[in-house]
Amino acid sequence: MLFASWTASAEIIAGRVVGITDGDTVKVLTPSPENREIKVRLAGIDAPERGQPFGKALK
């Protein structure tokens, strides 16, 4: 299970990680019947973004 939070709300999401965007962002595929791909940004993670030193190593 992954926990996602937005500005003023939080939601529990069940699914499988299908991609890593950068050090603190992943793509999650929810189970059937929805099969939605959701972009989840992890709060409180201080990781380099793409283009910064070591950014490619995190992916």
Where is pLDDT greater, at 17 or 4?
17
Peptide bond connecting 48 to the previous residue in cis, omega within 30 degrees of 0: no
User: pTM for the complete prediction?
Assistant: 0.64
pLDDT at 55: 65
Cα dihedral 11→15→19→22 (10° resolution): 30
pLDDT of residue 46: 80
Strands (E), the chain: 2-5, 10-13, 16-22, 25-29, 37-41
pLDDT tens readout for residues 8-55: 467 788 999 999 887 888 999 999 888 999 998 888 888 777 777 766
